Amino acid sequence: MTMKDNPRSMKPPFLSFAPAWLKTALLLLLLLPVLLALFWANLNFARLSPGGSDFLVHWVGTRAFVLDRISPYSDTVAVRIQTAFYGRPALPGEHELRVAYPIFSTLVFLPFALVSDYTLARALWLLCLEAGLVLLTLTSLKLVGWRLPPLLLGLLMLFSLAWYHAVRPLVNGNAVVLVALLFNLGLLALRSRRDPLAALLFALSAFKPQLTLLPLLWIALWALSLRRWRLALGLPLALALLCAAFLPFLPTWPQQFLGEVLRYPGYNPPGTLGSALQALFPAIGRYFGYALTAVFLLLLLAAWRKSWRSPPLSPRFLWTACLTLLLGQLLGIQTDPGNFIMFCLPLVWVLDAVRRRWPARAALLVSAILLLLGGGLWWLFLSTVDPTGQHQQHPLMFFPLPAFLLAGLYLFPPLDAPPPPAAPAAFS
C-alpha cells in the first residue's frame, strides 16, 4: 500500500482543525497589508480631491449633535456644512447640503465623527465603503447560491469596485453601500431563522428610509403571511425603539426631520423617474412617468401576491426581493442613480440566471455583460455629464441599469431557478 492509498498518511491541512476565531485572525492578518495600502491610497485621494459631500453633511451633523448638542437639522449646522464645502453659506440655486436622514443615522456616522480631522475621517469612511462593496457582492452571491470560478470571481470583484454605480457613492461618500449590505445581511439572517437579528438588521437599514421603505413593507407583510411573529412584530418594534431612543436628547427631531424631507426635492436635481422623464421630454415626460409608475405598481403588487407564504430565500422569495429593491426606487420616491448600488442583488440574480440558462457559455456571457455594463455606463456618464455645477449627472443615468435588470428579471422568472443551498447551522 502506498502513502497515497493509506488514509492515515493523508494528513489534512492544519487549518481544518483550527477554531473559527483563529481562522478569522489569520485572514485578517493576511488582509492587513491590503487594508493599510488601501487606506493610504484613500488618504492621498482625500487630500488631493476635497469633497465627499454626502459624508461631509453627516460628519458635521453628527459632530454638532454629539459634541455640541445642536440639532443636526438646524440652520446653524447647515451653514457649518455649507461653509466647510463652499467656503461660505450656499447661494440661491446651489445645493443646500442639509441633513435629511432620521436621527438614528448618527449611530452609523458616530465612529467617524469622533475623528476631528475631516480628511482622516473621510479616508476611514472610504475604507469602510470599499469593504462594504466587497461584502455586498459576496453576500449577494451567497444569497443566490452561486460559486464562481476564481477568474470570474476576480472579474466580478473588480467590477463591483470600479463600475459607475459603485464609484459614485465612493466619491460622494454615500452611505447607500451600507444600507444595501445591511439589507442583504437581514436576508441571510432569515435563511437561518434568526428573525430577531433579521428585524434589527432591517431596521438599521432604514437610516435611508426612501431606499428601504417598500422592501421592508414587503418583508413585514410576508412575515405576517407565514406567522413569523418575531420578525413581523420585531421589525416595527426595532424601528420604534431606534426612533424613540433619541427623543430624550432631541424631542422635536421627528418634526424637524419631516421638514427636511419635504425641503429636500427643492434643492436637488430630478430625483424620480417621472422628473427625469420630464427633464428629457418636457411636453409628455410627466404623463409618461405617471403611466410607468402605475404599471410598476401593478407589477409589484402582483409579485407580492405570488410570493405570499413562499419559503424564505426560495426562488420566488428572492426574485420578489430583487424586484422590490428595483421598483422601490422607480415609484416616485426621491432617489438618485448614485443609490443604484442597491441593485447589486438583482444584478447578481440576473447574471446567475444567465449562467444557469447557458452553462456552457456562462463565463463568456457573464464577462461580456460585466464589461458592457461597466464600460457602457461610464461612457454614458462621461458623454452627458454637465461640467458645471459639481459635475452633475444627466437624467439619462436613471434608465440603463433599471431597464436591463427589469428585462432580466422577467426574462428569467423564479421558476427557472433551482432553490438555493440548504441553510447553514448558524448565521455567519
Position 104 in a domain: no
- Tell me the pLDDT tens digit for each residue of 121-177: 999 999 999 999 999 999 999 999 999 999 999 999 999 999 999 999 999 999 999
| Main-chain phi, psi angles of 417, to 5 degrees | -110, 135
The amino acid at residue 315 is P
In this prediction, residues 382-410 reach a mean pLDDT of 86
Using pLDDT thresholds of 50, 70 and 90, give the confidence band for residue 272: confident
With the C-alpha atoms ordered 115, 121, 127, 129, is the resulting torsion angle positive or negative? positive
Cell 441599469 sits on residue: 401
Residues 77, 103 contacting (CB under 8 angstroms):
no
Residues 256, 73 contacting (CB under 8 angstroms):
yes
Which of 28-42, 106-120, 215-229, 406-420 shows the lowest mean pLDDT across its residues? Answer: 406-420
pLDDT at 122: 97
Name the nearest CA neighbour of 420 among 299, 304, 321, 300: 321
Position 13 in a domain: no
Return d(Cα 97, Cα 177) in angstroms, integer: 20
| Angle ∠(141,212,352) on CA atoms, nearest 5 | 20
The amino acid at residue 265 is P
| Angle ∠(111,117,120) on CA atoms, nearest 5 | 75
Position 392 in a domain: yes
Cell 453601500 sits on residue: 177
pLDDT at 144: 94
Position 108 in a domain: no
pLDDT at 132: 97
Instruction: Print the SS3 string covering 23-44.
Output: HHHHHHHHHHHHHHHHHHHHHH
- Whether residue 94 has pLDDT greater than 90: no
Q: Which DSSP letter does residue 330 get?
A: S
Strand-pair partners of 386: 392
pLDDT at 101: 95
Residues 70, 77 contacting (CB under 8 angstroms):
yes
CA atoms within 13 A on the CB side of 307: 29
Cell of 328: 422601490
The amino acid at residue 313 is L
Domain count, the chain: 1
The helix (H) or strand (E) run that includes residue 246 is none
Position 30 in a domain: no
With the C-alpha atoms ordered 374, 376, 379, 384, is the resulting torsion angle positive or negative? negative
- Whether residue 419 has pLDDT greater than 60: no
pLDDT at 21: 63
Query: Please, is 2 exposed, middle or buried when counting C-beta atoms within 10 Å of its C-beta (0-12, 13-18, 19+)?
Result: exposed
Position 60 in a domain: no
pLDDT at 9: 44
- Whether residue 20 has pLDDT greater than 80: no
CA torsion, ordered 195, 197, 200, 203, to nearest 10 deg: -50
Q: Which domain holds residue 266?
A: 133-416
Position 25 in a domain: no
Query: Please, is 377 exposed, middle or buried when counting C-beta atoms within 10 Å of its C-beta (0-12, 13-18, 19+)?
Result: buried
Return d(Cα 317, Cα 308) in angstroms, integer: 9
- Whether residue 106 has pLDDT greater than 80: yes
C-alpha to C-alpha distances, 148 to 151, 175, 179, 367, nearest whole angstrom: 8, 28, 25, 12
pLDDT at 173: 94
Q: Which DSSP letter does residue 392 get?
A: B
Return d(Cα 322, Cα 60) in angstroms, integer: 34
Position 244 in a domain: yes
CB atoms within 10 A of CB 206: 25
pLDDT at 7: 45
